[in-house]
Amino acid sequence: MKAPPFRLTIIHPCVGRRVGQRGYIRTWKMEPLPAATIAALTPPDVERRFYDDRLEPIPFDEPTDLVAISVETYTARRAYQIASEYRRRRVPVVMGGFHAALCPDEVARYADAVVIGEAEELFPRMLDDWRHGRGSHVYRAESRPRSLRVAPDRSIFRGKRYLPIRLVETARGCRFACEFCAITAVFTATQVRAPIERVLTEVRALKRPGQLFFFIDDNIVSDLAGAKELFRALAGEGIRWVGQASSTVACDEECLALMRACGCQGLLIGFESLGAEQLGQMNKGWNLARGGPSAAMATLRRHGIRVYGTFIFGYDHDDAAAFARSVNFARDEGMFIAAFNHLTPFPGTPLYTRLEAEGRLRFPAWWLDPAYRYGMVPFIPRGMPVEELEQRCSAARRAFYGWDSIFARAQARVNRHDPWMLLNFLAINAMHRADVVGRNHLPLGDAAWTGELLRVS
């Protein structure tokens, strides 16, 4: 008799949920590409299901043979809750993702198998072992893949309501070494690129009239030569896209012209701070190169590229004036959108190690602490009390997403000259305005969950 097919359930955990909360933070409802990559790495004779914890209830009692969860630091607590539900039902759980690379020992305590490293290298071997009854507890990659050859299988997203933006990854990792950055801690300041043909195939398959793409690369210009080759190949595809880049992109006019020519509408750029001491401490002094943020913004505007600026507060030289300076800068420079967050020490980063050595961590493992809430400052800042840092970050968001600021920024030529992007500007700013309150002090994990986190014995 033929054996029944092996059943794999892929879960994308949410960050958290309040008791009785309906719906989820709208701006966080993007397609989860790691789940689609796992789906693509699953052989066709394995029966697959996918549940997105942000959008739908998880049917814990549905029969399955193995559960796979990609874990980030913010979703770790919820991932362990989900794993406990399955493991209590005697279903083995495998976990991988960023947090597994940052905190392998912790993840290994809550999972029957942990994949430390990139799924492309390890997931097929792990799955083969587990379906044939020889599964191990730890799978660790010896090196990074040479290239990102596997295209995500997006068929698992069918019927789920994500934000109407298609995510594509053209490269992973970044050559810089910012002190707080978990990405560079995991990928040790290296970048791996996808073959250009693969990117073109994906883009062509996903292209629709009015479709906006998000190239989710950590820093799309980390390897300038590789990036320019990609932009040349994308010219003529007739797409519109946004991406993430270091401010160094503003120093290369050829690159900006190529980006614009292949449909770049905007970039997320980590300006982080306007202070030289702060940037020095975060190992990001290069943000001040060639005239610094103002000159970079002027160059980007000249090339018609909109900017999503991100700012961080809580470095040792930050005082009360730093917030207004950054908000005014973001508004006056006509940023499309912006983020104003307190510094967060992710485990495994040099920042975490430094704050730990200085005895400044308020919650040693904030991502697991039941008392911790999204938006709480998990360390002791030097320039102001914890509460003031939290309140000033909230106030900065409220000021930036106030209607007066939205209308002032809508006047910037770069934001208004294309009616389609102006409509996007208004919709996206309104969405962020609503979410300023919605995610503040969100619990990590499902607050209504009453079980015990089940550890591997």
Asked if 309 touches ligand SF4 (CB under 6 A), the answer is: no
Minimum CB separation of residue 288 from ligand SF4 in Å reads 14
- Least distance (Å) between residue 168 CB and ligand SF4: 17
User: Which CB sits closer to ligand SF4, 247 or 424?
Assistant: 247
Binding mask 255-284 toward ligand SF4 (x if CB under 6 A, else -) reads ---------------x--------------
Strands 66-70 and 113-116: unpaired
The pair phi, psi for residue 59, each rounded to 5°, is -80, 85
Cβ closest to ligand SF4, residue 41 vs residue 181: 181
* Dihedral-angle region of residue 23 (phi above 0 means left; psi in -120 to 50 means alpha; beta otherwise): left
Q: Are 258 and 298 in contact (CB under 8 A)?
A: no
Nearer to ligand SF4, 122 or 282 (CB): 282
Q: Which residues of 200-219 are buried (b: 16+ CB within 10 A; e: fewer)?
A: eebbeeeeeeeebbbbbbbb
Give the helix/strand (H/E) hosting 419: helix 419-438
93 or 279, CB closer to ligand SF4? 279
CB atoms within 10 A of CB 238: 11
Between the alpha carbon of residue 201 and those of residues 31, 150, 172, 194, the distances in Å are 18, 12, 18, 12
3-class DSSP state of 220: coil
Question: Does 246 participate in binding ligand SF4 (rule CB under 6 A)?
Answer: yes
Minimum CB separation of residue 81 from ligand SF4 in Å reads 29
Mark 146-185 with x for binding to ligand SF4 (rule: CB under 6 A) and - for no binding.
----------------------------x-xxx--x-xx-
Residues 381-440 that bind ligand SF4 (CB under 6 A): none
Interacting residue with ligand SF4 among 9, 42, 219, 405 (CB under 6 A): 219
Which position has the token pair 């549940």? 51
| 187 forms part of the interface with ligand SF4 (CB under 6 A) | no
Please tell me the count of residues contacting ligand SF4 according to CB under 6 A: 11
Q: Which one of residues 169, 218, 223, 333 is an interface residue with ligand SF4 (CB under 6 A)?
A: 218
Asked if 349 is part of the footprint of ligand SF4 (rule: CB under 6 A), the reply reads no
CA distances from 116 to 143, 222, 238 (A): 11, 24, 38
Residues interacting with ligand SF4, by CB under 6 A? 174, 176-178, 181, 183-184, 218-219, 246, 270
